[in-house]
Structures are given as C-alpha cells and as structure tokens.
Amino acid sequence: MKRIILFIVCLLFGLMFINAGLDKFFHYMPQPKEMPEPMVKQFGAIMQIGWLLPLIGTAEILGGLLFIFPKTRALGALIIFPVMVGILLTTFSLPLGGSAAIPLVLAAILIWVMIENRHKYAPLVS
C-alpha cells in the first residue's frame, strides 16, 4: 500500500514539475495581472539573464520525468532539490499574498522521497 501511495504522489509531483518546466519554454499558463513590486523586480532580473529560465525549465522537466519512475527517482530528487530551494526562498522572501502551503507540501514530498532513497545517496557523501 505504501508503494502505491508513493507512486501516485511521485507521479503527481513529477507531472507538476514537468508542467512548470514546459511553461518556462511555451508560456501557456496565465500570469497574474497584479504582482507586488518586489516580485516584478525579481522576475525581471531573472528574465534579463537569458539562459537562466531555460536552465530551470530543463531541470524541472528532466527532474520531473526522472521523479516519476522508481528506478530514477533518487536522481530526479537530486535534480529538483536546488529548484525546490529556489521556490521556497522565493515564497518566503517575497510578499506573494498567497499561501505557502503548496511549496511546503512539495518540499515535504521531496524530503520524504530523499529519505526513502537515502541508501542511494550514501556513496555520494562517503
């Protein structure tokens, strides 16, 4: 039962990151009409660095794809980890006016998967 729940959660997590990564290339999700000034400045700075958005999008797509499949889930978690750190830093450093629930749930899922795969990370730190 735990494997089935983990697979469903990882499938949804991976699809969410694949969707976010594809949006970095195709811009199909609507943008908010009114954004706080600090958010506009930060996203403007990201847009000025021409290679940064495609790099993040590629990491999200690749990490999301790897996260879905159990054999490559540990590698997908490593690829998504720095993206997740950026999401959390953005969430808590900017006045978004929304809830931090979704980023915290995503971070909890990522940590859960990394703990479940900790034996695969042992050679990296030994």
Please list, in sequence order, all residues whose beta carbon lies within 8 angstroms of the beta carbon of residue 42, skipping any fewer than 6 positions away: 90, 94
Please list, in sequence order, all residues whose beta carbon lies within 8 angstroms of the beta carbon of residue 88, skipping any fewer than 6 positions away: 103, 104, 107
Nearest one of 14, 106, 22, 11 to 58, comparing CA atoms: 22
Q: What is the pLDDT of residue 93?
A: 83
The rounded distance, in Å, linking the Cα atoms of 65 and 73 is: 9
**Maximum CA pair distance of the chain?**
49
Q: What is the mean pLDDT of residues 118-124?
A: 93
What's this model's pTM, rounded to 2 decimal places?
Answer: 0.90
Q: What is the pLDDT of residue 75?
A: 97
Q: Is 122 helix (H, G, I), strand (E, B) or coil?
A: helix
pLDDT tens digits for 4-49? 999 999 999 999 999 999 999 998 999 878 877 878 888 888 889 9
Q: What is the pLDDT of residue 55?
A: 96
Give residue 94's pLDDT band: very low, low, confident or very high (50, 70, 90): confident
Q: What is the mean pLDDT of residues 62-73?
A: 97
Nearest one of 86, 63, 87 to 75, comparing CA atoms: 63
pLDDT of 97 above 70: no
Do 24 and 63 form a contact (C-beta atoms < 8 A)?
A: no
